[in-house]
Structure 1
Amino acid sequence: MDIQGLCAGVMHDVLEDTGVTKGEMAAVFGNTVAEMVDGLSKLEKLKFEDHAEHQAESFRKLILAMTKDVRVIVVKLADRLHNMRTLGSMRPDKRRRIARETLEIYAQIANRIGLNNAYRELQDLSFQNLHPNRYETLKKRWTRAGRTGRTLSAKFCARSASGW
């Protein structure tokens, strides 16, 4: 990731959460950084009627953002990965909603663009939040089998949960 991508990553919520304008950001950090942060902010602004519409629209917007500058999608995936790592303080229903969206949209995009480690971790964290009891059971099996230090992939979890 280049310096502009790193700047956009650090400031990804600035336009949404502060009074800083895109113009002010461009004056200090340049148009490229401001455009990337603006692209990330636009992904968060739309409201949707239902979950399916939200997922489809999120996917379309991410693809459009990616065609303009792939760094936008990388920053968004990093942000989602961070959010998934810190879901513990949220209500269970909200954790499940975010985990489902992550599994169905963000993990798939990470896989398609070759971010394999992010893909596996997003799958693992999603499964952990969607099926906490199964996750703990599988984690114990995984550890007993001597596979510590790795994530539980969704394929492993699915096979193991179905009895192989």
Structure 2
Amino acid sequence: MSAAPGLAKPAPAAAPKREATPASPVSLFRALATLASGALFGFGLSYAGMIRPEVVLSFLRFQDWGLLLVMGGAVMVVVLVYQLAPRLMARPVLDDHFHRHPSSWNRDTALGAALFGVGWGLCGVCPGPAIAGLGTGNWDLLWALGGISLGALAHGLRAR
């Protein structure tokens, strides 16, 4: 059956979705991939010095440009991968299709970004490096993580 002129043809049926039950090889592979990427990310944060608040604060005071190079390099890699991967691969390794996440800015997003920036500027810590820094025995980062947790709790209570 053909579509009438000017009308769109119906979309082809979607491929069957792979189920990821807790004991399936797909979920095990996802868990291992998540663990490996998290470990690599934590190692990268540590190697770049981002787990040391004094390094981050000297970057934010424009005294040390090393983290600018690290962040700029990371952004370039992500932009390249986001642009090239969908063109070079039929589908991602751990999903059925590539996802686009539209950006939406509103007052809450702007306020959250501002609070994050103020917190980062005051103590030189953001969540990822704080968690990675605990692995090095920097227990002072627990104070920053406590503040981050309280902020997340306040947001959750406000959102109800």
The interval holding the TM-score normalised by the smaller chain is under 0.3
Q: What TM-score do you get using the length of structure 1 for normalisation? A: 0.27
Higher Cα Rg: structure 1 or 2? 2
**Greater RCO (CA < 8 Å, at least 6 residues apart):** 2
Q: TM-score, normalised by structure 2?
A: 0.28
* Bigger share in helix: 1
